[in-house]
Amino acid sequence: MEILTEVVSKQYVKNKAEKLYGDMIKAVADVDMGKIAIDAELHSDLESFLLQEGSQQESLWGFNIYPEMEGEDFIEFDSLINIRPRQNNRGRDVENPEVRARIISLVDQYIR
């Protein structure tokens, strides 16, 4: 597991993905602190990692990255950690368009 602190290439992410899932890597974004953690078997592992680093659970959202894909297929907003009725997110998807936009922005910031 790692928190991205500088720009990494899509190839870097692809290499990480190939070691565990093949074509995909799990990630969790802290949309308030502007962090992304990658490279774990479960989103919940990344969530715990970010919580230990000072993140607040309400700010953490799970998603998957498909480094060989482009456009809307590059990010899949699907994770069990996203099920939060108290935040009006009743499914595994990230339902709030503003949160989705923030995640996309963070991915664009760190992965090129």
CB 36 within 8 A of CB 29: yes
| 27-40 pLDDT per residue, tens | 999 999 999 999 99
The whole-number pLDDT of residue 38 equals 98
Position of tokens 């990230």?
A: 94
pLDDT of residue 73: 95
Report which residue type is found at 93: D
Q: Using 50, 70 and 90 to split pLDDT, how confident is the model at 22?
A: very high
Which whole-number Å values give the CA distances from 36 to 54, 88, 90, in the listed order? 13, 22, 23
Instruction: Please provide the average confidence, as pLDDT, over all residues in the chain.
Output: 96
Over the stretch 70-105, which tens digit does the pLDDT of each residue have?
Answer: 999 999 999 999 999 999 999 999 999 999 999 999
- The rounded distance, in Å, linking the Cα atoms of 53 and 51 is 5
Predicted local confidence at residue 62, as pLDDT: 98
Task: Tell me what pLDDT residue 54 has.
Answer: 97
End-to-end CA distance of the chain: 19
Query: Does pTM top 0.85 for this prediction?
Result: yes
